[in-house]
Amino acid sequence: MISMSEKDRILKAAQEKFLRDGFSKASMDMIASELRMSKKTIYKYYSSKDELLHDAVQNLKKEIKKNVGRIMNDELHSIEKIILLSDMFKSMAANRMSSNWINDVRVYKPEIWKEIDDTRTKIINKHIYKVFLQGIDEGYIVDIPPQIILTVFLSSVKTVINPDFILDNSFSLKEAVDYTLGIFINGILTEKGKEVYKKIIKNKRSEENEKDFYSSLGSLFIWLQ
């Protein structure tokens, strides 16, 4: 039991280090130093940084699937689910996942990136699609095929909320998210949906935080793109 606890500590520390600073800049020495343990102890469980990265990604996927599943299984309407999913991914993007991590995995570990991409695709197909379908059934989202809603949104996010577009047009990331998501949310909601959305925003967020909701949604789909 002690050995498993020690291994879990190593995995957790490495995962947070990779997400925060990127994979290429993190070394076994740094991880050992943060844990205040010898590098030899880490090597008892992990023979290389690559092996540690593999387990860290598996653990991250498990966390995401568990949290998404919990939200999807709750008796909530579609707009509430969108807000909760968005808040969850905003928290991940703001507090844990850095651009260094994303760029490192894309460039140096394309096989790991493909695994993450496959997971994201499954989440889109299984969960996000269902939320849009639920919203249509509830009368909160316009009655058009959810595949089209999802495809249009992902395309707009990939086009507008990306470094090249932002640099070329002198927008901040927050401005790009606010404008893009504001247009999208107002475009897909029915009048009934807009009333429910406004009520939730009024009850749970101040007017100042309405843009934080758009930023949350942006974080969700930045992660998914």
Based on the structure, what is the number of domains in the chain?
1
> In the chain, where does DSSP find H-type helix?
2-21, 28-35, 39-45, 49-73, 78-95, 99-108, 110-123, 129-138, 146-160, 163-169, 173-188, 191-204, 210-224
- 40-81 per-position pLDDT tens digit: 999 999 999 999 999 999 998 888 888 889 999 999 999 999
Predicted confidence at residue 208, as pLDDT, reads: 46
Q: Is residue 79 part of a domain?
A: yes
Q: Which residues pair with 141 in a beta bridge?
A: 189
| CA–CA distances in Å: residue 115 to residues 27, 64, 108, 168 | 23, 14, 14, 31
Residues of the chain predicted below pLDDT 50: 1-2, 207-208
In a domain, 115, yes or no: yes
Q: Which domain holds residue 102?
A: 57-224
- 194 in a structural domain: yes
* pLDDT in the model for residue 84: 83
> Can you give the pLDDT at residue 188?
92
pLDDT of residue 85: 81
Q: Note whether residue 7 is domain-resident.
A: no
- Residue 26 in any domain: the answer is no
Assess if residue 209 is contained within a domain: yes
pLDDT of residue 49: 94
Asked whether residue 6 is assigned to any structural domain, the reply reads no
Cα–Cα distance for residue pair 51/68, rounded to 1 Å: 26
Q: Is the pTM of this model over 0.75?
A: no
Note whether residue 29 is domain-resident: no
